[in-house]
Amino acid sequence: MHGELEGTYDLILYGLGVMGENFIRNFARQGYRVIGVNRTVARTRDFAERVKEEEVAARVGTADTLSEAVPHLRESGGAVIAMIKANDPISEPRGPIDELFFNGSVAKFKDRREDIPALCDLVPEGTVIIDAANSHPRDTARRAREMDERGHLFLGAGVSGGAEGALHGPSIMPGGSKRAYSLVGEMLESAAAQADGPCCAYVGRGGTGHLVKIVHNGIEYGIMQALAEVYYGLRYALDREPAELQPLFEDMASGREGGYLTEITAELLGMQDRETGRPMLDVIQDTASQKGTGKWTSQFAFDLGVPVPTITAALEARNISALKQERTAASRSLNHETIGKNIDEEGFIAAARDALYGSMIAAYAQGFALLRAAAREPEGEHGGACSLELDPGGIADLWKGGCIIRSKLLYPIEETFEENPELPNLLVAPRFLEILNDGQFQRNWRGFVSALGTLGLPRNALCSSLSYVDDYSTERLAADMIQGQRDRFGMHGFRRTDRDGEDFHLDPAE
């Protein structure tokens, strides 16, 4: 053991990355006693040296192994939070988190020749085990069932806010055992961001906490891509340097488009590389990475038959950005046919703002529609991942502080769902209909997307968002042709508009 643990502690946090370390500091500031443990002992000891100089030092301990830490947990309501990288549910059905919880192999330390028992074999009855990684909801649902069978209390908690949020207060989305939340909810709520109350609440059984988190991340993908496309369109259509656009984005950050992502976009526009003096955005390579949560959102939506085109477009944009060498080669041979610019600058900027705001509305609408569909799924469907117990307004409230998608738009969204909890889609809420039905707003959004197309500039999320609004508000779509085609080549049948019943078929002789 590294140092002597004194007395009892409220929780153990396993995983001392930046997020884990800051979460420990956060809990300690709230008055809780925390033990930090990491797979590599060297990292644990490095953290111990640094934290002992901080004001929270008296409430923070460290241990080399979970075996050494667990006996110091309080008898009732103690918790172990795991903040380690989750596994890929497709390629690794049982990855690091399962090993830590059930097998123990992840805790074979590089610098110690010692096999450590699995967490389930270590913790006493009444201890709450919390998976705070970006886990897939179906994995979390399975773990919840296995924990329940073993008699353990388990929560799968989505956490959003990055390193800064972990330190000062993230949004926390816990799901799983309701009894577990009754024991540790107060502790989690104290460490969460505060915005009209704690941005933490029990969301439902099984993997619901992580489902809410991946939907959050899908919305995040969509808004980030829309912001990037607006920046890129304004920069290259108006021939502006990034710093010249910063005042505009700062104005948007204080306006109705405001939110954390708009704020950091404005910051990035003003940054310069110290070494070269160039705009920081020109130094950053144009290949966007991803951890997989946006992909999970789209996959989950596909399984439920819920359209999320803004989120999927953002995912596709990241995928194509990764083809850097291919794109560079194609740019030298595949020319964009563009029409002369002749842009009304003031009108173009106003159009860009409306296109961004419309896309933000669409991204949130798709996310909440996905959560609503998941809540309607029978128990056991799609891995039994979700049983949403928190209403949509409550979800919006969770996201109002601490998390990456916190924005001004969440306040009217929360009010909308409070007025009508059964609303099928945000697009048809009176306050959003007023915006979307405004003629000038529509002309601006369509005009900006059209202008970007004319100039050959990226418009993935902005265009997909507009198409979502158009398709959702169209009484008769082109799907009649699709069904006719399906029946013509595969005898799949179709429904008629003029009579009841199914499985009508074409007569090729007609």
Distance, CA of 125 to CA of 127 (rounded, Å): 6
Structure token digits, residue 303: 């399984």
Q: Are 26 and 169 in contact (CB under 8 A)?
A: yes
> For 231-279, what is the HEC assignment?
HHHHHHHHCCCHHHHHHHHHHHHCCCCCEHHHHHHHHHHHCECCCCCCE
Active site residue 213: yes
Output the CA angle 200-205-207, nearest 5 degrees: 85
* Local structure of residue 497 (DSSP, 8 states): S
Tokens of 5: 């643990």
Q: Largest alpha-carbon pair distance within the chain?
A: 88
Helix axes 18-29, 41-51, angle to 10 degrees: 40
Write down the catalytic residue from 189, 213, 229, 414. Answer: 213
Q: What is the DSSP letter of 322?
A: T
The dihedral sign for the CA sequence 176, 181, 187, 192: positive
- Beta carbons within 8 Å of 175's beta carbon, 6+ residues apart: 140, 155, 156, 157, 202, 203, 204, 205, 206, 207, 208, 209, 210, 211, 212
Cβ pair 170, 164 in contact under 8 A: no
- In angstroms, the CA 229 to CA 179 distance is 45
Query: Hey, is 73 helix, strand or coil?
Result: strand
Calpha distance 224→450 (Å, rounded): 20
Instruction: Name residues whose C-beta falls within 8 Å of residue 408's C-beta, 6 or more positions apart in sequence.
Output: 256, 257, 258, 259
Q: Measure the CA angle with vertex 210, ends 215 and 384; round to 5°.
A: 100
Whether residue 53 lies in the annotated active site:
no
Active-site residue, selected from the candidate residues 21, 99, 220, 414: 220
What is the identity of the amino acid at 301?
Answer: A
Tally of helices (H runs) and strands (E runs) in the chain:
22, 9
Q: Which residues are catalytic?
A: 213, 220
